[in-house]
Amino acid sequence: MQASDRFNINSQLEHLQAKYVGTGHADLNRFEWAVNIQRDSYASYVGHYPILAYFAIAENESIGRERYNFMQKMLLPCGLPPEREDD
Amino acid sequence: MDPEIAKTQEERRKMEQQLASMNSLTFDTDLYGGNDRDSYVTSIPVNEDEDNLDSLMDNEVARKLASYTAPKSLLKEMPRGSDESDDVSGFKKPQRIIDREDDYRKRRLNRVISPERHDAFAAGEKTPDPSVRTYADVMREEALKREKEETLKLIAKKKKQQQEEEEAAPEKPPADSSAAAAAAPKRRNRWDQSQDEGGAGAAAKKAKTSSTSDWDLPDTTPGRWDATPTPGRLGDATPSASVGRRNRWDETPTPGRVVDSDATPAAGGVTPGATPAGMTWDATPKLSGLATPTPKKQRSRWDETPATMGSATPMAGATPAAVTPGVTPVGGLDLATPTPGAINLRGAITPEQYNLLRWEKDIEDRNRPLTDEELDAMFPQEGYKILDPPASYVPIRTPARKLLATPTPMGTPLYAIPEENRGQQFDVPKEAPGGLPFMKPEDYQYFGALLNEEEEEKMTSDELKERKIMKLLLKVKNGTPPQRKTALRQLTDKAREFGAGPLFNRILPLLMQPTLEDQERHLLVKVIDRVLYKLDELVRPYVHKILVVIEPLLIDEDYYARVEGREIISNLSKAAGLATMIAAMRPDIDNIDEYVRNTTARAFSVVASALGIPALLPFLKAVCQSKKSWQARHTGIKIVQQIAILIGCAVLPHLRSLVEIIEHGLLDENQKVRTITALSLAALAEAAAPYGIESFDSVLKPLWKGIRSHRGKVLAAFLKAIGFIIPLMDALYASYYTKEVMVILIREFQSPDEEMKKIVLKVVKQCVSTEGVEADYIRSDILPEFFRNFWVRRMALDRRNYRQLVDTTVEIANKTGVADIVGRIVEDLKDESEPYRRMVMETIEKVVTNLGASDIDARLEELLIDGILYAFQEQTSDDANVMLNGFGAVVNALGQRVKPYLPQICGTIKWRLNNKSAKVRQQAADLISRIAVVMKQCQEEQLMGHLGVVLYEYLGEEYPEVLGSILGALKAIVNVIGMTKMTPPIKDLLPRLTPILKNRHEKVQENCIDLVGRIADRGAEFVPAREWMRICFELLEMLKAHKKGIRRATVNTFGYIAKAIGPQDVLATLLNNLKVQERQNRVCTTVAIAIVAETCSPFTVLPALMNEYRVPELNVQNGVLKSLSFLFEYIGEMGKDYIYAVTPLLEDALMDRDLVHRQTAASAVKHMALGVAGLGCEDALVHLLNYVWPNIFETSPHVINAVMEAIEGMRVALGAAIVLNYCLQGLFHPARKVREVYWKIYNSLYIGAQDALVAAYPTLEDEQNNVYSRPELMMFV
């Protein structure tokens, strides 16, 4: 980053973006991005009642159970993080 | 403002808006003030830097010169004030904090940065090392200090007694003493006379007439001292005075005192001229005047007002000489001279004196006990035996000696022979090595060590560390922004490595520097804040040190300084923990200095809000019940008050416990404690309002008893508390208690004390506004006394009284109605005192505005109008427009009932329009615009027409302020009677206005353009097209106005004119204007083009505009693109019909080599996309996105900004999924630079449409342990 970049509006933009959990950066790896995607997806399922109802019918579960399951899955949506090669 | 005026204005505004937006929904944020003006580019920079400079200068000058009128070229050339040019060159006028501080705030410099203390947490179970200061040590010291204070007080008292005795028995001493005492000045004259004979004629004659004699006058005869070589000379001359003096000097055994009384005369008297110091004696006899023991009468100068001494002698020795290195510290001896003794310490202190104090401390330094090493070096190794100290021996630990631990700000006290340094240039400050920023002279004492680099190799690691800290601090303090930023970051990052001790030992003395400026303090405080965060629990030993320098910020007059101080203390308490904070601040709670207690109380309140009130409650309770000293109780209760003020309604959960803690203070034996308790209760009640009355139950009784038994200040405080508690009560109780307290209040109505008056008024206001208090009661019991005591001329003279009285009366009127109040004061409109009349008028205005005039009967109405006319005509100065506002408010409130008086009012106005004084004319014109609506209501159209003609005749007015008001009045008349009925007819009026448009005064411009715009809107047909074209040309200039209102009115007027005479001619003018060199002019023109396109539909404008793009000239092409950008912004969804037409043009622009082309085109695309979102233009937009996308790697901030916004626009118009697909290709690109950009786009996409992305994410394949697929999305019913 250049010295001049540090003070302009774009740097503020990035700072603003960094405040949100789901945003990414150049060093994000496949796993981390996938975790974000999964969590966002589950949050979306839980947030939209019709979708939740649709899943409930498809899985033959109660809506409450579905919601509970999704929330539980948000904990470790992709399983444990893979071992890092470098450290 | 009157509701009717407001209503008409509202209507007008609505209408204007309707017309302005005609068939679109959006507004130009540039003109109407969007909130993110900075975020997009409003300019077409060709050669960016030059232009920016230009506009910068324009703005600055224009703001200052708003009222000047001259051609622009002249304005630009005009030499600007020195401060401004300083600003440009980076040398701002120093804004030293100390310069704006009052004596009380300056007392912060009295405080000593205490050495670090024992950290019980870090030490664990270990017994603290005796060399470390523990809590017990500090407490003991405080107790000692208090005792010393008491003793000093006793001594002072005794001396006073003695003095009184001496004065009572003046006959006792030797015969000539009474004569000598009375004729002390005369005696001096004798000396002068003898000198006179010796040959210094004129000076002595002068001296004879002045009572202070020549001691204080600058004296140029060096022979004087030679003539009287005996040091005891004065003593001999005034033996009686010297007796008294002797006593005094002997009684105060402070070393400093002894030194100065003896040393100075010796230095001056014995060897005059021989030492270099003698030069100063000769050159500056003022100091010698001070140093000479003065006769008894002037003694008070020594004891009471040390401040005058310091400020009266701005000696060379006092400041720069001691500070600048290289210059021999000549002032050394002089400095030591007027050392203020211990008693003086309590007065206010100037920075110069502060320096003196430090010198004194250094002297103590030199007299410190010898250490074992030193003793070893002095004595032979054998023949001595080291004995153990006796068991009962306790080492003395006075804070002054302890100060050894902190670095002394001045290296060598007194005069030391400087080491020879031939390379030194004495008059030029040495250039700072290694890219360090410039050092100010006063910085040398802190950073001087950085200047000699030679020793760097020999330094130990600790010294190197300190040097590093100093360098960084200097960069933070004096460096350029980038330097400052990196230094700040380094300090933060390495904070733990540097360690708390070295850091704070460097930072805190800087903050105590007497010459500190606001900006510097802000930066240093910022350093502390950052460092605190890093150091965390390591700060514990330094908490008190930090508090000493930060607490003064809490009472700074600058709001931001106060906030900053609160933030630091709150962070500090979070880092150090409650126990440490209490241990650090407890000793200050009963400090002898009120200043220390005051700031400590405020700091404690911040701690309470940071760590929660419950945590602090037990401690507060203990402090408030302290039996040892009233100061502790006082401070404890004050802490509660400050908590209430600081956290407001958040006290509610703890209200009861807080009240319980302080309630006993109401019955305290000390009056100050009782007062502060009542004030704290008032603060609590104010913070809790309107809840929490039940918490105050327990204090009601003592409060009520109190108001019966107390007088003066205490009573005022009690009344204040009651005043704040009554509004919390329910109606029944409030009414009862009001009646109870009213007796006292009415008694105190007569109090001559100003403070009491203010409080009584405030309490009356609060009581009256509570629900349960009946109007009848107020009328019968309060009003007569109230008006008799308060509605007097004297009250109008003090501004605060004035305000309070008006507020209270308005509050009473809200209960009792208009007629009661106005009836009582209306006669006073004819009072002979103008300030009083003004107060009456303001009250009537507020009452009538609040409650209307329906209560006013015919008789009162007559009196009122009569009084107002009288007051209006008799006014001599009215800066706040009170009379004008009052007149307007009453006339508007009375409405149609004014009709009979209108001829008279208009007569007055006409007469005053002809007045010699510009102010009077202006006011008359302003009055017309205020009452125009009412005149219309009264069907006085003929009268208005007449006034219109009169105003028309005055359009030649030369004072711009007045001309502006006249135009405003004309506008008001045109607005209410309409274009057709207007006299003079519009076709005569408008040609008269055209030349006025050239006027550069803001008020004239604004009113004129408003009037012209109104005519263009409603009555364009009355004026020939040629005249409108002429006006168009004038308007181009007005687009540059600095006031937003003028620009807005101008572009609107362009729209109206274009509508009236067709867009072709106007457009031709505007397009031609794109070719001009001046950037600002071009920008304004593009706005105007867009406005014309908006009012006359885009299809009338677009062909010509797009044709203009073919001109092979950068400015013109950019102007066209800019117009398109504004155009699509204004027309919003209408854009869907034109998007295909302009797409080829935008394609071309987005592929242009010129950056600005691409930037402007991108912002046009953004507006277009946002306008047509959801209207089925996706094909064109995707096409444009393909042209926009390659620009994402641009680095110029303006361009990349425009491109990112265009992509955001596309996200809205095309949906997040499509943009995500563009994004995916680069998120995991091998090149980091590429990834960074793509992730940035992804992030803004994500924030904008997180939910929408869920459906569009790519399918990731599972890996061995990890599941990446989203099977839920595959479900199908």
Question: Could you tell me the residue range of the domain that residue A45 belongs to?
Answer: 28-76
* pLDDT tens-digit readout, B716-742: 999 999 999 999 998 889 999 998 899
* Statement: residue B1177 has pLDDT above 90: yes
Tell me the average pLDDT across B1020-1037: 89
Q: What are the distances in angstroms from CA B454 to CA B132, B324, B433, B506, B1002?
A: 35, 20, 11, 22, 62
How many CB atoms are closer than 10 A to CB B38? 11
Query: A25 and B1239 in contact by Cβ < 8 A?
Result: yes
* pLDDT tens-digit readout, B969-1014: 999 999 999 999 898 999 999 999 999 999 989 999 999 999 999 9
Q: Is residue B470 a contact partner of residue B487, using CB atoms and an 8 Å limit?
A: no
Chain A neighbors of B1207, CB-CB under 8 A: none
- Both tokens assigned to B155: 């001594």
CA angle A15, A17, A22 (to 5 degrees): 135
Query: B1251 and A82 in contact by Cβ < 8 A?
Result: no
Closest by Cα among B129, B134, B77, B42 to B580: B134
How many residues can be counted in chain B?
1277
- Both tokens assigned to B830: 């004819």
- Structural domain includes residue A3: no
Query: A77 and B1267 in contact by Cβ < 8 A?
Result: yes
Higher pLDDT, B204 or B571: B571
Closest by Cα among B749, B1041, B981 to B58: B1041
DSSP state letters, B440-503: -GGGHHHHGGGG--GGGGG--HHHHHHHHHHHHHHHHHHS-HHHHHHHHHHHHHTHHHH-HHHH
Chain B neighbors of A14, CB-CB under 8 A: 1240, 1243
CA distance B871 to B829: 6
Q: Is residue B957 a contact partner of residue B925, using CB atoms and an 8 Å limit?
A: no
- Structural domain includes residue A50: yes
- Structural domain includes residue A58: yes
- State the average pLDDT for chain B: 79
Query: B1197 and A47 in contact by Cβ < 8 A?
Result: no
Tell me the average pLDDT across B1197-1221: 94
Query: B1267 and A55 in contact by Cβ < 8 A?
Result: no
Chain B neighbors of A80, CB-CB under 8 A: 1265-1266
How many CB atoms are closer than 10 A to CB A75? 8
* pLDDT tens-digit readout, B740-752: 899 999 999 998 8
- Residue B419's SS3 state is coil
Q: Is residue B977 a contact partner of residue B941, using CB atoms and an 8 Å limit?
A: yes
* Statement: residue B533 has pLDDT above 80: yes
Smallest Cα distance from A74 to chain B, Å:
12
Least confident of A10-19, B514-523, B544-553, B626-635: A10-19
* pLDDT tens-digit readout, B466-508: 888 998 999 998 888 888 989 999 999 899 899 999 999 989 9
Q: What is the complex's ipTM, to 2 decimals?
A: 0.93
* pLDDT tens-digit readout, B410-455: 444 566 565 665 555 555 555 566 677 777 777 887 887 787 766 6
Closest by Cα among B452, B361, B346 to B401: B361
Name B423's Cβ contacts closer than 8 Å, sequence gap at least 6: none
- Structural domain includes residue A12: no
Least confident of B108-122, B214-228, B616-630: B214-228
Tell me the average pLDDT across B1075-1088: 83
Task: Kindly indicate the confidence band of residue B658, based on its pLDDT and cuts at 50, 70 and 90.
Answer: very high
* pLDDT tens-digit readout, B753-782: 888 999 999 999 999 998 888 899 999 999
* φ/ψ of residue B119, rounded to 5: -105, 105
Chain B neighbors of A61, CB-CB under 8 A: none
CA angle B24, B25, B26 (to 5 degrees): 105
From the list A24, A41, A47, which residue is nearest B1243 (CB)?
A24
- Structural domain includes residue A10: no
Residue A10's pLDDT is 59
CA distance B83 to B855: 56
Chain B neighbors of A23, CB-CB under 8 A: 1239, 1242-1243, 1246-1247
Residue B170's pLDDT is 57
Query: B1260 and A37 in contact by Cβ < 8 A?
Result: yes
- Structural domain includes residue A22: no
Q: Integer distance in angstroms from the first to the last C-alpha of chain A?
A: 27
* Statement: residue A16 has pLDDT above 90: no
CA distance A2 to B244: 75
Query: A26 and B1260 in contact by Cβ < 8 A?
Result: no
* Statement: residue B605 has pLDDT above 50: yes
From the list B1197, B1236, B1260, which residue is nearest A34 (CB)?
B1260
- Structural domain includes residue A86: no
- Select the highest-mean-pLDDT range: B378-387, B403-412, B668-677: B668-677
Closest by Cα among B94, B133, B97, B109 to B509: B109
Q: Which residue of B has its CA nearest to A17?
A: B1243
Q: Is A55 on the interface with B (CB under 8 A)?
A: yes
Closest by Cα among B106, B88, B85 to B97: B106
**What DSSP state is assigned to residue B330?**
T
Q: Is A71 on the interface with B (CB under 8 A)?
A: no
Q: Is residue B625 a contact partner of residue B658, using CB atoms and an 8 Å limit?
A: no
> Does a cis peptide bond (omega within 30 degrees of 0) precede residue B984?
yes
Q: Is residue B112 a contact partner of residue B360, using CB atoms and an 8 Å limit?
A: no
Smallest Cα distance from A71 to chain B, Å:
14
- Structural domain includes residue A62: yes
Residue A44's pLDDT is 95
Q: Is A22 on the interface with B (CB under 8 A)?
A: yes
Residue B415's pLDDT is 65
From the list A3, A17, A41, which residue is nearest B1244 (CB)?
A17
- What ranges make up the beta strands (E) of B724-789? none
Task: Kindly indicate the confidence band of residue B277, based on its pLDDT and cuts at 50, 70 and 90.
Answer: very low
Structural domains of chain A, count: 1
Task: List residues bridging with B517 in a β-sheet.
Answer: B96
